[in-house]
Amino acid sequence: MNYKLTFYIVSAMLMALTSCDVSSGKKNVNLFPVKSGKDYQYVDKEGKIIINPQFEYASLFNNGLALVRTSGDESKFGYIQEDGKYAITPSYKSATNFSDGLAWVVTENGYPTAINTKGEIKFTLQEAEEVRLFKEGFAAFSVSDSSETKWGFVDKEGKIKIPPQFTQVRDFSNGKCAVYSSSDVKWGFIDKEGKIAINYQFEFANNFKSGKAIVYSGGKAGLIDEKGKYIINPQFSTMNEDHGKYLIELNQKWGWCDENGKIVINPQFTQANPFLGNSLAPVQIGKSWGFIDKEGKITINPQFDNALPYLDGKLALVQTNNKYGFIDQEGKYVINPQYDDISLDLLMYSLNETEVYNYAFTDYFNITPIISSVNVNTPKGLLMSNKISDVISKLSLPENAFNLYSQEHLLIKNERISKDATLNFYVIANAYKEVPDGWYTRRILNLDAAIESYVYMISLTGKGYGKEKEVKSEIEKTFKGYVKDESQSTTEINIFKNKTQKIQSYINQSNIILIISNELNYNTLNNPGTVQVDTARY
């Protein structure tokens, strides 16, 4: 993946406003994850390779550890030391950076698990769908069902301190956390007991920093104190905290104001990135990037395709002709433009001191709701002896639910049976008959028409995607009283039968299809092309 700065500088600024603020604090950045060719490597401040190219992904080091992902078809996440040796073996399907001494890891088909820097398991959060980094001792986590997602918070011991109840949340900072209420359609703030500290009133809200938080109202950004009182009334298109100052966008130009809203550098730049405590900040003038001082004076002339803030006040990452290098405070290259790509973690930390791998999802796929949705003996409470009139009555359908020009009738469409699975239910029947109408005939619904087949089509998404074979196998285990017909089954299609019914079970893309017919329809069923559920259409 090529992280082009042209795109990510813009998107990362938006991420600072719309994703969780996960400020990691100042890091002592000595090694840079960069890419020359296929894999990421680590170089020092002189450009010397310290850890050879070998990673599909690589983060910055934090407290002596860096999150990496191995290359290859079976890539896994693990953690390395600054000598390149693994401190925690790469064995995780997903993982986060460390924060507050803990990281979240997820194994194949596993739950989010918190580990310490030694790789020791602290606890597992089985009920969580998504988890985020620990901040001020609390980690946000979500639980989901087929209809909604709610967020709560767990502490570092695995105790749920604030039960899931919020539609969206950010992270705790300064003892408060921004939360969203779907009923109020607004953001507010809670304290660490889960009580409302600032009422729901904002269109959007950032985390508190140094007792102040950027909020949006009327499509404009302003600044509030810890009581929710405005320090700066909403007036800017965009606003980002910048170590005591605020990077602002006004009338499609970028500049800076102080904590009272007084303009200190006039909005005049096409685009700008923050100082982040450094003496220089990158700005775009026309199509090129240069650097200004805290008075707004140009100190390094615009000459780069893109530029990021200085790291530790010494080196700044710049892009020229699709290559990446590092300059000093005089604008001279310390490491010439030579890298094809940089780690997204390096980019995001350079830009706003945030981290990329700050959340993880459970990989556990709950098959129980899918199994429960299938009944091959009485599909949706129906029998093979039923007629069209019985189907209408049982499923409470209007007569026009049946397809006038096809024997394939989709009667239940996209029924949500779990977060990762939906169900379509078909009836195969010649539901209409022709009756005389003067010189012509017309088709009318035949309430006495017999049912040829019932069809379940289960579509897997999310964590279920790619697990069709496993799900089909588990469903087939529920066919009690049926025997697999080895002579009729193929590598693609399994046929099961009992004394009265036949079941055809197969996979079409991400869909598991079960066709249930009686003995009389069995030969027709096994005639290729006779029953063709249109998966592309639905």
The per-residue pLDDT for range 108-159, each reduced to its tens digit, is 989 999 999 999 999 999 999 999 999 999 999 999 876 789 999 999 999 9
pLDDT at 324 over 80: yes
d(CA 101, CA 495): 54
d(CA 530, CA 63): 64
Residues 6+ apart with CB under 8 A from 143: 127, 128, 129, 149, 150, 152, 164
Name the strand (E) or helix (H) holding 267: strand 263-269
> Residue 73: what pLDDT?
86
> Residue 462: what pLDDT?
85
Dihedral sign of CA atoms 53, 57, 63, 65 in order: negative
> Residue 315: what pLDDT?
96
Residues 306 and 8 sit within 8 Å (Cβ to Cβ): no
In the chain, CATH 2.130.10 covers 5-361
**CA angle (30, 69, 155) in 5-degree steps:** 85
Q: How do residues 29-72 score in pLDDT, each as one tens digit?
A: 999 999 999 999 999 999 999 999 999 999 999 889 999 999 98
Strand, coil or helix: 122? strand
d(CA 386, CA 397): 15
Residues 366 and 418 sit within 8 Å (Cβ to Cβ): yes
Tell me, which fold does domain 5-361 have in CATH?
Answer: Methylamine Dehydrogenase; Chain H (2.130.10)
Name the strand (E) or helix (H) holding 469: helix 468-476
In the chain, DSSP finds a helix count (H) and a strand count (E) of 6, 45
Residues 149 and 143 sit within 8 Å (Cβ to Cβ): yes
In the structure, what pLDDT confidence band is assigned to residue 19 with cuts at 50, 70 and 90?
very low
Write down the residue that tokens 């989010």 correspond to. 112
The pTM (predicted TM-score) of the whole model is 0.79
d(CA 342, CA 317): 9
Query: Which of 3-7, 194-198, 353-357, 366-370 has the least mean pLDDT?
Result: 3-7
Q: Which two tokens stand for residue 398?
A: 């209007």
d(CA 51, CA 446): 74
DSSP for 173-212, please give it. BTTBEEEEETTTTEEEEE-TTS-EEEEEEESEEEEEETTE
Q: Which two tokens stand for residue 395?
A: 């499923």
The whole-number average pLDDT for the span 479-492 is 94
Residues 59 and 357 sit within 8 Å (Cβ to Cβ): yes
> Residue 520: what pLDDT?
54
Residue 261 CB burial class (10 angstroms; 0-12, 13-18, ≥19): middle
Q: How do residues 379-424 score in pLDDT, each as one tens digit?
A: 999 999 999 999 999 999 998 999 998 999 999 999 999 888 999 9
In the structure, what pLDDT confidence band is assigned to residue 355 with cuts at 50, 70 and 90?
confident
φ, ψ dihedrals at 164, nearest 5°: -60, 125
In the structure, what pLDDT confidence band is assigned to residue 524 with cuts at 50, 70 and 90?
very low
Give percent of the chain with pLDDT exceeding 70.
91
Q: Which two tokens stand for residue 252?
A: 């499609």
> Residue 438: what pLDDT?
78
Q: Which two tokens stand for residue 230?
A: 């405005």
The whole-number average pLDDT for the span 243-260 is 97
d(CA 128, CA 151): 9
Buried b (16+ CB within 10 A) or exposed e, 443-476: eebbeebbbbbbbbbbbbeebbeebbeebbeebb
Q: Which two tokens stand for residue 446?
A: 């035949």
